[in-house]
Amino acid sequence: MARLLINCWSCVWTNLCCFLQAGKILLFYKRKNGHILWRFLTWAVILGISAAILSKCSRDGGFIPVNKNLWSLSYVTCTGALSFLLLGGMYFLIDVRGWWGGQPFLYPGMNSILVYVGHSLLGFYFPFSWNMRFQDSHWEFLFQGVWGTSLWVLAAYLLYRKAFFLRI
């Protein structure tokens, strides 16, 4: 029962902290890029310091050890800090500077249903996957995952160029 309550509290904290707070910042400070970046950095520092205090800057020690399987409070605050840093960096690159337009993620997003259904139907067939020769190494699994993803992104790009979008 205690584990269930801890997991429940961690999930509530994750949603409150990362999703609601980041959304609130983006909605409240529209077109005030400096304020948005400052808020993201402030939350990253607050959560990072909280994670450091809770875990005493160690993986297995501290008041609440960092534990992904239990979604401990120190794990949630640590990942929340990293999420705010990443969100701030991406906000700076995309919205403030305009250096990146979202490619290549734009193309699968425009045909996400087709990519999802296509992968569900064809994901276990060649050229998207094959029988592994080296089961004890992660490199072939990694290569197969990157290869399959690249093929689906290429297919989505070609469909985007032909202005074919599957809608329901």
**Residue finishing a domain among 49, 65, 96:** 96
Residue 129 shares a structural domain with residue 79: no
**Res 45 pLDDT > 90:** yes
Q: How high is the pLDDT of residue 15?
A: 60
pTM: 0.68
Residues sharing a CB contact under 8 Å with residue 59, sequence separation 6 or more, in sequence order: 65, 66
Segment 61-83 mean pLDDT: 79
Closest CA to 82 of 22, 31, 34, 35: 22
Domain count, the chain: 2
Spatial distance between the Cα atoms of 167 and 54, rounded to a whole number of angstroms: 47
- Do 74 and 17 share a domain, yes or no? yes
Whether 17 maps to a domain, the answer reads: yes
In a domain, 90, yes or no: yes
User: Which of 96, 115, 141 finishes a domain?
Assistant: 96
* Residues 121, 143 within the same domain: yes
Within a domain: 151: yes
DSSP-derived secondary structure letter, 32 = -
CB 111, CB 160: distance < 8 Å: yes
Q: What is the mean pLDDT of residues 145-151?
A: 93
Q: pLDDT band at residue 155, thresholds of 50, 70 and 90?
A: very high
pLDDT at 14 over 80: no
In this prediction, residue 55 has a pLDDT band, given cuts at 50, 70 and 90, of confident
pLDDT(80) > 60: yes
Task: Say if residue 78 is in the same domain as residue 118.
Answer: no
Q: Has residue 167 been placed in a domain?
A: no
Does 58 fall in a domain? yes
85 and 59 in one domain? yes
Q: Domain limits at 145?
A: 106-161
Q: In 129-151, which positions are buried (b, 16+ CB within 10 angstroms) versus exposed (e)?
A: eeeeeeeeeeeeeeeeeeebeee
- Point out the domain boundary residue: 96, 121, 151: 96
Q: Are residues 68 and 140 in the same domain?
A: no
